[in-house]
Structure formats: C-alpha cells, structure tokens
Amino acid sequence: MVMTPRHIVMTMGPVAVAIILALILSFVIPLLVARYLFRRDLALSTLQALAIGSPAVPFIGTSVLAFLFGTVSASLITVSSITQNVFQLPLVMILMSVATGDKSQHISFGARVVNAIKQPVVWSPVIALIIVLADIHIPQTISMSLGLLGKASGGLALFAAGIVLYTRSIVITTATIITVIARNILVPGACYLILLKMGFSMEQIKEVVLTMAIPVGSIAIIIAMQYKTGEQEMASTMALSIIASIITMGGFIFLTF
C-alpha cells in the first residue's frame, strides 16, 4: 500500500466513491443482519460480514481486473485495498477482540478496543495511507521487503485454507450458502441496479460491478484462524465462493460487456 502513487489516490472519482460505499455497506449491513436478525454471536457475525464485504480484490484483482480493464485496474485495486485495510480490517480486529476476549478477566470494553488498536494489522494500514497522501517515498530496499511480505500473505492464507479443508472437509450450511450468495450475486447485483438507476455510465458500472463480483477474500480465513473461531466455516465459504465465481462472475461479465 505504501508503494501506491499519490496521484492514483487523489484522482479517484465517482467509481471510487461507489466502490468505497459498496465495500462499507456490504460489510456493515450483513454484520447487523447476522447479529440481530439471525442472532449469531459477535465473532461469527463479524467473520460472515467480512466474507461478504471483503472480496479478494488485492489478490484476484491483479489478474482478472488487469485483463478486463488494463491500466484502470490499478485504481480499482488501490481504492478497494485502502478501504479494506483502513476501514474494514481495524473494525474487524476490534470486534473480534471484544467478542473473543476472556470475560473472566473483567477487562472493560474500552481496554479491549485499545488492545486491538495496538496490533500492527490495525495501525499499519493507517500509517501507510498517511505516507501515501504525504507523498513520502520509501527506500526501494524497504518497499521491496514489504512487498514480499504482502505477496506472501495471500498464498499463506490459501495454504492454511487447504489444510483446514483437508482436516475438516467442506461443510455446506445455511450460513455458508447465504454468504456465498450474498458475496457472489447479491452485492454485485445490487451495485448494478443502484448505479444503473443513478445514471452511471455502463463503463463505470462495469468497473464497480466486476470489482464487487470477485469472490471471498482470504482475509476472512486469516482472522478466523488468528482468533480460532469459525475456521471451517470461513474456509468452506471461500472454497465454495471461488468455485461458484466461475459461473457468477462470468455471468456479470456477460451482463456488463
């Protein structure tokens, strides 16, 4: 993220706003629905919302979106990554810390929030965004090291998902089905209808919809394994979402092109 040119961040227009709102709302709304309508516990509600609202744009987008949109894909990937890292991830870490904390220790809510904020995965994206906006150039040796670590995370998450699925197998439950349908169909479908109604051009609609049609990201598994909660559900959800995306994303490409 620190290697993102500032002009890309500063020149993002209506498409960027649409993607930001889509990512935020597709996380917040499922979180509230899972927690208060389906009465799931806070940890599982948070993970399910993350799976729905956080497509694998930083990983799959680099190949799929680059092929579909060329150089424009850099802006789509950048705005998605910034929103996920600066808004979604810190909030997820705070909620998971509160949900999985040891209640017997009588630690206050504020203390749990502070403990979550202290984690590098929460504050490092914010610092990265500040560095980008301030146009501070990171030495190449440091940026290459950070890039190497960043590229490894996706592969490690997929490897971890494979281990979880090997030891526990894929489970198809109501929760996984709902998550896959929401992630692969409802979110990009809603984006298509709303943006069409708002008068966006078909080119803009295409960019937003196909960005949001990307399947579940590996971050859900990373968080699930870190907090030892819902690992099998998240691994199964990601596997089913990726398999289903062959049809669903292909359908949205057909719809918009």
Q: What is the pLDDT of residue 6?
A: 61
Residue in 44, 33, 75 with CA at minimum distance from that of residue 57: 75
Q: Is 11 helix (H, G, I), strand (E, B) or coil?
A: coil
Cβ–Cβ under 8 Å, residues 211 and 137:
no
The rounded distance, in Å, linking the Cα atoms of 81 and 216 is: 14
Can you tell me which residue has the tokens 């629905």?
33
pLDDT (tens digit per residue) in 19-78: 999 999 999 999 999 999 999 999 999 999 999 999 999 888 878 898 899 878 888 888
How many C-beta atoms surround the C-beta of residue 102 within 10 A? 7
pLDDT above 90: percentage of residues in the chain = 48
Instruction: State the average pLDDT over residues 235-240.
Output: 92
Cβ–Cβ under 8 Å, residues 69 and 45:
no
Q: What is the pLDDT of residue 252?
A: 97
pLDDT (tens digit per residue) in 90-99: 899 889 988 8
Q: What is the pLDDT of residue 98?
A: 87
Asked whether residue 13 carries a pLDDT value surpassing 90, the answer given is: no
pLDDT above 70: percentage of residues in the chain = 86
The rounded distance, in Å, linking the Cα atoms of 130 and 230 is: 33
Instruction: State the average pLDDT over residues 220-234.
Output: 91
The rounded distance, in Å, linking the Cα atoms of 58 and 41 is: 29
What are phi and psi for residue 200, nearest 5 degrees? -65, 150
Q: Please name the fold of domain 6-256.
A: Na+/H+ antiporter like fold (1.20.1530)
| Greater model confidence, 224 or 164 | 224
In degrees, rounded to 5, the angle at the alpha carbon of residue 221 between the alpha carbons of residues 219 and 224 is 110
Instruction: State the average pLDDT over residues 224-237.
Output: 92
Cβ–Cβ under 8 Å, residues 221 and 157:
yes
Query: CA 37 from chain center: how many Å?
Result: 23
Q: For residue 7, give both structure tokens.
A: 């002009």
pLDDT (tens digit per residue) in 102-136: 555 566 767 777 776 777 766 777 777 787 777 78
Q: What is the pLDDT of residue 92?
A: 93
What are phi and psi for residue 169, nearest 5 degrees? 70, 160
Average pLDDT, the chain: 86
Cβ–Cβ under 8 Å, residues 177 and 48:
no
Q: For residue 124, give both structure tokens.
A: 């490092």
Asked whether residue 213 carries a pLDDT value surpassing 70, the answer given is: yes
| Amino acid, res. 211 | T
Asked whether residue 256 carries a pLDDT value surpassing 90, the answer given is: yes
